[in-house]
Amino acid sequence: MGPRPPVRLIDRTTFTVAAGGMMYALTHRHVHEQHSFEAMSWAPMDKDEPWPSPTMRWSWKSVPSPPPFAMDDVITSYALHPDGHTIFMSAHDIRYHHLPKGTFSFDTRTSKWRLHVDWALPFQGQAHYDDGLDAWVGLHKDGYICSCEVASRSSTSAVEPEWKVTREKLFHKDPERRLAFARPSLAYMGDGSFCLVESVLREGVEFKCAFGDRDGCVLHLSMFGLKYDRRGQLQTTRHHTNSYVVPKHLQTVSPVVFWM
């Protein structure tokens, strides 16, 4: 529930993140189309309205400092700094996806951007801060969970933050049952607990028979914690998984988990 999003946000959002008492949304839908950075905040209402109304409301406005990304750049990962005011974003050139364009940070208090040289956060999508590890945690490629030390807000060093991955896979365990359009989704629930959701084909079901009202897909839900062992390796704790048959599944839908 909230104010109607601007037209430039509809069906174009790359990611949204809450920071500094606002909701930020970065948009970029097509190649050669400029990014847009919008913020939803609690702001005074226009006093020229002819009828009695509240003095404050949630409203959208463009961030005064435009995103420093080229039109061919795509945001591959992002994370909120523990200070609650600084958003880190890693970008790649869509033409050379394996080459990072760098990591940028945006300070919501000053509306200023900073480039952190040519390294990228090691995640796919959003990472979450775990205060027990004092690290960001997110999804790494090939089915592993990754932790990464928090980058400095002020440093422009070329040294990439140290990161580690779990030894065991938590998703993409059954390649033949993967759905190419359905991305795994991770949420942080506080107290060192995470929830991972992945949508896959039911065992024995063919792809062409899986969608609609056919019970052809299964939702894997994994709950786990993380810690470093005595050798400094990242490992899961309290790990348990449940699977749920999805009674109806659209081929264009990718389930997303969130925590409130």
Give me the pLDDT at residue 164, please: 97
**At residue 86, does pLDDT exceed 70?**
yes
Task: Report the alpha-carbon distance of residue 158 to residue 194 in Å, rounded.
Answer: 31
Give me the pLDDT at residue 243, please: 92
Strands (E), the chain: 13-19, 22-27, 36-44, 56-62, 73-80, 86-93, 96-107, 112-115, 125-130, 135-139, 145-149, 163-165, 185-188, 193-201, 217-228, 234-246
Give me the pLDDT at residue 53, please: 67
Return the minimum-mean-pLDDT range out of 96-100, 131-135, 222-226. Answer: 96-100
Q: For residue 235, what pLDDT band results from cuts at 50, 70 and 90?
A: very high
Compute the average pLDDT of residues 24-31. 78
Compute, in degrees rounded to 10, the torsion defined by CA atoms 15, 181, 193, 242.
Answer: 150
The helix (H) or strand (E) run that includes residue 198 is strand 193-201
Return the minimum-mean-pLDDT range out of 19-23, 87-91, 123-127, 158-162. Answer: 158-162
Assess contact for 94 and 118: CB atoms under 8 A: no
Q: Find residue 37's DSSP bridge partners.
A: 26
> What is the three-class DSSP state of 209?
helix
> What is the three-class DSSP state of 256?
coil
Task: Report the alpha-carbon distance of residue 250 to residue 217 in Å, rounded.
Answer: 10
**At residue 33, does pLDDT exceed 90?**
no
What are the contacts of 28-33 at 24+ separation with CB within 8 A? 28/69, 28/73, 28/74, 28/75, 31/71, 31/72, 31/94, 32/71, 32/72, 33/71
The helix (H) or strand (E) run that includes residue 23 is strand 22-27
Percent of the chain with pLDDT over 70: 93
Q: For residue 28, what pLDDT band results from cuts at 50, 70 and 90?
A: confident
**At residue 50, does pLDDT exceed 70?**
no
Compute the average pLDDT of residues 135-139. 98
Which range in 46-60, 69-83, 106-120, 132-146 is most confidently predicted, on average pLDDT? 132-146
Give me the pLDDT at residue 148, please: 97
What residue type is assigned to position 38 of the chain?
E
**At residue 216, does pLDDT exceed 70?**
yes
At residue 135, φ and ψ (nearest 5 deg) are -155, 160
CA atoms within 13 A on the CB side of 217: 25
Give me the pLDDT at residue 99, please: 65
Task: Supply 106's token pair.
Answer: 């945006």
Compute the average pLDDT of residues 34-50. 79
Compute the average pLDDT of residues 10-30. 84
- Of 33, 8, 15, the C-alpha closest to 80 is 15
- Of 141, 193, 178, 194, the C-alpha closest to 254 is 178
Give me the pLDDT at residue 70, please: 83
Assess contact for 39 and 64: CB atoms under 8 A: no
Task: Supply 200's token pair.
Answer: 């896959």
Domain range summary for the chain, segments of one domain joined by + = 1-165, 171-260
Give me the pLDDT at residue 144, please: 97
Compute the average pLDDT of residues 120-137. 95
Report the relative pairing of strands 185-188 and 217-228 from DSSP bridges: unpaired
Compute the average pLDDT of residues 12-20. 86
Tell how far CA 117 is from the center of its chain. 21
Residue whose token pair is 């599944």? 249
Task: Supply 213's token pair.
Answer: 């009202």
**At residue 49, does pLDDT exceed 90?**
no
Task: Supply 153's token pair.
Answer: 């807000």
Arithmetic mean of pLDDT over the chain:
87
